[in-house]
Every structure is written in structure tokens, then in C-alpha cells.
Structure 1
């Protein structure tokens, strides 16, 4: 027997989940708690409303800036393309012009640095 084209077309590799990402797990969990967003919303391929998308973008940004993960690594963890991660990082950086948002991000950065023992 052979596989029909429709069977082969239905195959999709398993999505990577943040279950084995180490420090990125901590970033995702921290942002999820802070923004009151369920963990599974960070890695789903579905589009979401602005608060969920912003929380995911923030977690991507922190994973890149504080943990030093590459855009490609972050994309794999979050189930996104590296260009999407790049966009998220640029967006969060622009939003940091708002002093209140910058204070919030700075507080998250300090928590991550304290938890991961990183310097930055």
C-alpha cells in the first residue's frame, strides 16, 4: 500500500512547545502571570486579540534581549517565523518610549536577570 497525496499533505511536524526551553519557560511564565494570559496562548499558531499578542511579543523581546536567544530560536519556541520575532522586538522597543511601559518592562527584565543569574 502507498500513501495518497492527501495523506502526505496532511502531515505536519509537531510544533515545538516551550516545555524544554529552560530559561525561556521562565520568561513565558513570568509574562503570562503578569499579563494574565494562559500559557498555551504563547505558542498557538492562531491569531489572538491585542492583549494576547502583546504579551507574546513581550516574551519574545525579553527572550532575545535578556536571554540572548537568536530570533530563529525564539521563533521555533513560539511557533513563529524569525521575521515575526524581529517585528515583535522592534515593536516592544518602540513602545518603551512610553515611560510607564518602560518601567514595566524594566521590572520584568530585573526579575528575569535575578532568576536566571544573567547580567545585562
Structure 2
């Protein structure tokens, strides 16, 4: 039996993790696809993914296990990622970038939700 065990993840958690990945990918100029590959990735992409995991951890207040599950990884990886990112925050440039990403992510999630399929208006579908 070679099936990979996957913990069920709430759709909302996956969407939030995707938002953190997308913002981080934009900030570091690394495609999300490169950051989320299952095979070995280059160091820049790995550190960008770790930054996204840390961003989710601090922005959403998620425990490491929830971060790991939302990103499809294990808790040890999430712990390593957050420990590395926390150490990197000693660098002024990285700290400034992460502060901006945290603010952007929080503002994005504070926006009102808009129904893309409101009730059918008479005469329209």
C-alpha cells in the first residue's frame, strides 16, 4: 500500500494558505508552482514557501499543526519553516517585507465578501 496519507483540510484553510503562498510568491518573484512542487525544489523557492508558512502562522494565529496540514506538509516542516523565518526577522529587510505581507494579508481577509452568484434577478440568469 503506497498511498500517501493526507489529513482532511477545511476548504477555508486551504484558501487562506493559497493566499499566503500567492502573496509570498509575488513578493519574492517565485512562481507558486515552483514553491509547491512535491519533488526537491531550489533553496530560494523553499525559503519562500517557508516564509508563506510563517506568514500563515502569524497572520491567522494558526498552530503549527494546522499550518502544516493547510500546506500539505508535516508539523516538523512547519516548525522548521517558522523557526527559520523567525530568525530571519533579525534582518531589517526581511522583517520589513514580512510586516508588509502580514498587513496585506490581514487587509485582504478583512474585505467584505461578495456573492458572485446573487439571487437571480427577474429577466436575467
TM interval, shorter chain, is: 0.7 to 0.9
Q: 1:14 to 1:83 in 2, by over 3 A?
A: closer
Number of the residue aligned with 2:4: 12
In the alignment, structure 1 segments of 5+ residues that lack a partner are 1-8
1:26-85 per-position Cα deviation (integer Å, ceiling 9, x unaligned): 111111112222223333322211110011000000101111222112212222211110
Counting matched residue pairs gives 110
Q: 1:18 to 1:32 in 2, by over 3 A?
A: farther
* 8 Å contact kept, 2:54–2:82: yes
> SS of 2:60's equivalent?
coil
Number of the residue aligned with 1:108: 101
Runs of 4+ with >4 A deviation = 13-20
TM-score, normalised by the number of residues in structure 1: 0.77
Number of the residue aligned with 2:72: 79
> SS of 1:10's equivalent?
coil
Choose which of 92, 97, 110 in structure 2 pairs with 1:117: 110
TM-score, normalised by the number of residues in structure 2: 0.74
- Aligned counterparts of 1:11 and 1:86: Cα–Cα separation in 2: 25
- Aligned counterparts of 1:42 and 1:18: Cα–Cα separation in 2: 21
Number of the residue aligned with 2:85: 92
Choose which of 56, 60, 71 in structure 2 pairs with 1:67: 60
